[in-house]
């Protein structure tokens, strides 16, 4: 089991639970998941040497490695001297379609301000990445020295997963709005990283869209609240008028009944009902 667990205001945990021979082994360290409403990627890497890494949005949150801390097994690293070209991120991934035209039946009062639909920007080159160079501190692939352990039965295929036919998502929530998609299971961490980078290329567009949607939602809620206040005020006024009308009708009925019973002239009464 792997993924975020949000429960109430206290539990904001990132679950990592591995099953082996029918027994579940949860990660004992407390990892926190993201809590905002934007897109996030959670990555769990399990290696053949039983080491693992947990990444959130391609940033490592947790790592377990067996080799010494000063051992560098990265054959290639990103060039620390590489400099991002000036103005690189000023080029948007999408631009308004210059060929799009406002529909003839567009009603600005009812439909809002018309905006051109966006299309991929041919000048956009994707997220900037540092070029990779040979790691001067590379020491080769470190291997754990092994000794015989008479008490433990060795399992060289400990990291091997059984064939996966299904992916299950367990959702228990009291507030709607959660969306799960883009589930990737592969044996290439670099490919998984590229997939995340590709989707995150539109991160700023997603933020802008989310902020715009939040503004529209709040404006709609305020408009509905205002209509509810106006409707409540109208009903209160109507109830007040109904009471006065009923009171006036009863007074006039009593006056007519009295005049009919005692043959009193109608000019004798002055209508004080209101």
Dist. CA 141–CA 124, nearest whole Å: 38
What's the domain range around 224? 202-274
| Residue 111 belongs to some domain of the structure | no
Q: 207 and 180 in one domain? A: no
Q: Characterize the bridge pairing of strands 11-20 and 23-26.
A: antiparallel
| Residue 82 belongs to some domain of the structure | no
- Kindly give, in sequence order, each residue whose CB lies less than 8 Å from that of residue 92, ignoring residues fewer than 6 positions away: 121, 124, 204, 205
Give the burial class of 131: count Cβ atoms within 10 A of its Cβ; 0-12 exposed, 13-18 middle, 19 or more buried: exposed
Dist. CA 245–CA 270, nearest whole Å: 18
Dist. CA 152–CA 44, nearest whole Å: 27
| Residue 274 belongs to some domain of the structure | yes
| Residue 187 belongs to some domain of the structure | yes
Q: 173 and 214 in one domain? A: no
| Residue 93 belongs to some domain of the structure | no
Q: 242 and 185 in one domain? A: no
Provide the number of structural domains found in the chain: 2
Dist. CA 47–CA 55, nearest whole Å: 14
| Residue 223 belongs to some domain of the structure | yes
Dist. CA 201–CA 178, nearest whole Å: 21
Full pLDDT tens readout for the chain, 274 residues: 888 888 777 778 898 998 888 889 898 888 888 888 888 899 999 888 778 899 999 888 887 666 566 777 778 888 888 887 777 667 788 889 988 888 888 888 778 888 888 998 888 877 778 888 888 888 887 777 777 777 777 777 777 777 888 888 887 766 677 778 788 888 888 899 988 888 888 778 888 888 888 899 899 999 998 888 888 888 777 766 556 666 677 777 666 665 665 555 545 444 544 4
Q: How does DSSP classify residue 268?
A: G
For residues 142, 146, 152 and 157, what is the CA-based torsion angle, rounded to 10 degrees?
A: 40
Q: Are 43 and 54 in contact (CB under 8 A)?
A: yes
| Residue 109 belongs to some domain of the structure | no
Q: 212 and 268 in one domain? A: yes
Q: 163 and 59 in one domain? A: yes
pTM confidence score:
0.44
Q: 219 and 164 in one domain? A: no
């Amino acid at each position: 089991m792997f993924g975020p667990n949000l429960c109430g205001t206290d539990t904001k945990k990132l679950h990592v639970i591995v099953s082996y021979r029918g027994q579940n082994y949860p990660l004992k360290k407390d990892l926190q998941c993201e809590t905002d409403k934007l897109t996030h990627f959670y990555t769990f890497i399990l290696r053949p040497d039983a080491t693992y890494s947990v990444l959130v949005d391609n940033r490592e949150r947790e790592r377990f490695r067996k080799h010494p801390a000063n051992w560098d097994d990265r054959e290639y690293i990103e060039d620390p001297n590489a400099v991002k070209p000036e103005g690189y991120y000023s080029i948007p991934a999408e631009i308004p379609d210059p060929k799009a035209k406002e529909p003839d039946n567009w009603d600005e009062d009812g439909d809002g301000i018309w905006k051109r639909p966006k299309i991929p920007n041919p000048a956009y080159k994707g997220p900037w990445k540092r070029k990779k160079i040979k790691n001067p501190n590379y020491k080769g692939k470190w291997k754990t020295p092994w000794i015989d352990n008479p008490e433990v039965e060795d399992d060289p295929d400990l990291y091997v997963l059984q064939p996966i036919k299904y992916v299950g998502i367990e959702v228990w929530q009291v507030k709607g709005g959660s969306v799960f998609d883009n589930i990737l299971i592969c044996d290439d961490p670099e490919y998984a990283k590229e997939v995340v980078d590709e989707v995150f290329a539109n991160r700023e567009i997603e933020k802008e869209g989310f902020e715009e949607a939040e503004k529209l939602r709040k404006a709609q809620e305020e408009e509905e609240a205002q209509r509810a206040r106006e409707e409540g005020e109208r009903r209160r006024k109507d109830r007040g008028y109904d009471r006065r009308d009923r009171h006036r009708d009863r007074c006039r009925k009593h006056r007519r009944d009295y005049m009919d019973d005692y043959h009193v002239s109608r000019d004798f009464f002055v209508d004080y009902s209101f």
